[in-house]
Structure 1
Amino acid sequence: MLAKLTGFGIERITISGIAELSEIEVLVAAGIDPKTSLVFFDADEARRRLEANPLIREATVRKLYPGEVSITLVEREPYALWQVKGELFVIAADGTVIDKMDDGRFAGLPLVVGAEANMRASEYLALRAQAGALGRHIRAGTLISGRRWNLKLDNGMDVRLPEKAPGEALKRLVALETDYRVLDKDLLAIDLRQADRVVMRLTEEAATARAEQMKQKTPKKKGGEA
C-alpha cells in the first residue's frame, strides 16, 4: 500500500503485513498525520506505539530519505472468541488475549466460554472438526470446571460431553443424528457423559405433552375395584 502525504516532508508511506488492521488504523497507531515531518519523526517511538496495539505482534519502522517511511507488521491472528465473567475477548491460537470484542470483524470466530477456556480453544476446535457435518451446528463450547466440554448447538440444545474420550461421545451424537434426527427433537439437552447410555432432557412443553400422553395411556380402574 502506498499512501502519499505531500508537502509535509513525508512523500510516501509503505505499509506491509496488514490483514485485520486498516491502513488508517496503522497510521494513527504510528502517530503519523499530514503534519508529520520525516526529519523529526521518531521511528523507534512509532514502533513502540504500533506494538502497543494488541493486534500487532511485531513492527518494523524505517525512515528512508529523502521522503519515505516504511512500516512492516506481523499481526497476531485472531483465532477464537473467549467469553468469561460476562466479557468477550478476541484471542490468539495460544490463548493470548488480543483485545476486547468491540466490533463485528470477528463475529464469525469460534466461541469458547468459561475460565481457562482460552487456553484450550484448539481442543474445542478439534472436537468441532471431529463432528463432521454436524460441526456447523455447534455454536460454542463451554469448559466445565476445567475438565470437560458442554457444546451449545444452534437450536439452543446443550450436548454434555465426558471428560475422557469426548471424541468418541461425539461419534455417538453423529450416529444419533444420522439414525434418529435428534437435532429436530424437542430436547433441551443430550447427556453423553456415560459411555453405556444417553440421557435426553425434553423441553418443558415436550415434557408436559408427554405427561399428558402417559395419563391417557394409563388404563382407568373399573367400577368396584379397590
Structure 2
Amino acid sequence: MRTRIKICCVASIDEAQLAIAAGADALGLVAAMPSGPGVIPDARIAQIAAWTPPPVSTFLLTAETTAARIAGHIAATQPTTVQIVSHIDLHELAELARLLPHVKRVQVIHVEGDDALGLIPAYAPHVHAFLLDSGRPCGAVPELGGTGRTHDWGISARFVRASPVPVFLAGGLDAGNIAAALRQVRPYGIDLCSRVRTDGHLDIMKLALLTSAVREADALLYAEG
C-alpha cells in the first residue's frame, strides 16, 4: 500500500506546484480559523483549486459548523473535498451529505484521549475519511490544526484499525519520525504543514526528505507484509 501525502497550508499556486512536483496527492487550503498557520482568503483558495490538475485533490479546511454555511463555503471555493476541522453536530453532517453528495467529506478528530475512538461509529456513516490531528478545540482560543505537535499514536493506531473509512494522520510529522508513525499507525495518508516549512514558506528540501522517507518506509512495510 502506498501512503497518500497531503500538503496542507498551501498558500499560492507556486507552492501548489512545488507540492505536486514533490509527489503530493492532495493540497490543503486553509480558510479563516480562530488560530493556526496558513490562512488565505477564499478568493485565493478558489484560484488554487481551479488551477490544480487532476488527479490531485484540493481540500478546503473550513471552521464552519452548519451544513448551510459549509455548503456556501464550498460553493465559493470549489474544492474537490471539504475538511471539517471542528467536531460538529451529526445532523449537520447528514444534511451536508444531502446538499452536496458529490463533494468528499473529511472529518477531523482531535486526539486528546481515548474518547476519540467513541466518535468513529457516530461520524463514519456521514464521511469519506477521517483526519487525526493534535488540536485542542475546547481551549480558550480553539486550536483546530497546524499545531506542529504529535499526539498519542497508540490511540491513532487503534482508531485506524476500528475505522471503516480511510484515516489520515496529522500532527508534528517530519522526516525524523515518519517511519515510526507509519509503522505504528498504518494510516491511509499523512497530512503535513509546519514541519515542511521554513519561516512560513514551503521548503522544498524538507519536503523532498520527508517524501523520500515515506516511500522508504512504505517499501519496508510492504516487504515485511
TM (norm. structure 2) is 0.17
Q: Which has the higher helix share?
A: 2
User: Quick check: which has more Rg, 1 or 2?
Assistant: 1
TM (norm. structure 1) is 0.17
